[in-house]
Structure 1
Amino acid sequence: MAGFLSALRRLYLSVYNWVVFLGWLQVLYLALKAIKESGHERVYDAVERPLQFAQTAAVLEILHSLVGLVRSPVSSTLPQVGSRLYVTWGILWSFPETRTHFLVSSLIISWSLTEIIRYAFFGLKEAFGASPRWLLWLRYSTFLVLYPTGIASEVGLIYIALPYIKASEKYCIRMPNKWNFSFDYYYLAILVLGIYVPGSQHMYSYMLGQRTKALSKAKKA
């Protein structure tokens, strides 16, 4: 029974990783095609649906951590997935004024390259029990550049959205109301920006630690 459950787990995780891998591959292809043919202003329009699918699918990774399907701790999975979902839905989808900025291109390229490598690495690992060393090196080294460019793009787009958030009052709740409660999405966005500084430092340090462990283990193997 334990062997069957283990095989089922590997099959599920393998399918999940390869499906999302294909999603991010499509995002990268469409983004580069849009940049070449129409310029950075058209990137978001070209990738909107596959981006939303690929990024929202990462919600399952929180569940995977919670139920023990993977070893990644929820403490690192939740903030990374949550921040990307916020930018995907809470900024780009909610405020169209941000979509033509060049930071969208750097965001999409950083995200998609990172995730193509990551999902390929885990897809091969689940399907065959191991990944080639060159892919392991890419998995634990490319983030040194792609994580800062991705974070800078996320922070930049949230900052750019602030005046549009304030002017539109979208998602705001004003008193009086039956809940006797008020909420201002503008201040939430400012709070998120404030969290990015310590949060990104924590995540970068965590990934550096993971890189050291993974590459050291690979050398000994």
Structure 2
Amino acid sequence: MARDASVVRRLYLSVYNWIVFIGWVQVSWSMILALLENGYEAVYAAVEQHLLFAQTAAIMEVTRYSFYGMKESFGFTPSWLLWLRYSTFIVCFPVGMVSEVGLVYIVLPFMKASEKYCLRMPNKWSFSFKYFYASVFFMALYAPVYPQLFRYLIAQWKKALAKAKTT
């Protein structure tokens, strides 16, 4: 069982790190091309979308990597950094959930009108998909699932901080 968890963890971290890497490569590549082709005035317009994606992921990494940097470099982390590393989710998780649901709610009329990402019948798969209804369904799932996820994260948080107190 522990070996399976290790494989899943490594797979997740590999995929996550490659996605972040690709995001920053896109920012760098877009920046270099815009700079060479159109000068520095065109850089932000060229990198804006890639940069927003990469920055969103990077915000969470500030505490994470400072924590691991201290741990690897000095063999310990200050208690305040340990607490910060494991406590930022208390603010970030609810803010993220409210932001996701709020933004999806705001764009629902556009989704319905544009029918973007829809698959209509008939087609070779005999399958229909409407992004609007999938979004409404997943928004509705937040109500029963969010409290369970948050309780689980709180339990993990308590476990991580309790383990740190004993070491």
Q: Which residue does the alignment assign to 1:194?
A: 140
Q: Which residue does the alignment assign to 1:209?
A: 155
Q: Equivalent residues in 2 for 1:1-221 (5 A)?
A: 48-53=49-54, 108=56, 112-125=58-71, 129-221=75-167
Determine the C-alpha separation between the residues in 2 that align with 1:50 and 1:128.
32
Determine the C-alpha separation between the residues in 2 that align with 1:200 and 1:129.
36
Gaps of 5+ in 2: 1-9, 28-45
Instruction: Give a deviation string over 1:129-177, Cα, whole Å, max 9, x none.
Output: 5433221100222222221111111110011111110000011111222
Aligned residue pairs, count: 132
Instruction: Give a deviation string over 1:39-86, Cα, whole Å, max 9, x none.
Output: xxxxxx9752134346xxxxxxxxxxxxxxxxxxxxxxxxxxxxxxxx
Distance 1:164 1:119, change over 3 A: farther
Larger relative contact order (Cα-Cα within 8 Å, sequence gap ≥ 6): 1
Report the TM-score, using the length of structure 2 for normalisation.
0.63
Distance 1:197 1:217, change over 3 A: same
Q: Which amino acid in structure 2 is aligned with residue 190 of structure 1?
A: V
Gaps of 5+ in 1: 1-8, 27-44, 55-107
Higher-Rg structure is 2
C-alpha RMSD over aligned residues: 3.4
Percent of aligned pairs with the same amino acid: 48
Q: Which residue does the alignment assign to 2:5?
A: none
Determine the C-alpha separation between the residues in 2 that align with 1:127 and 1:51.
30
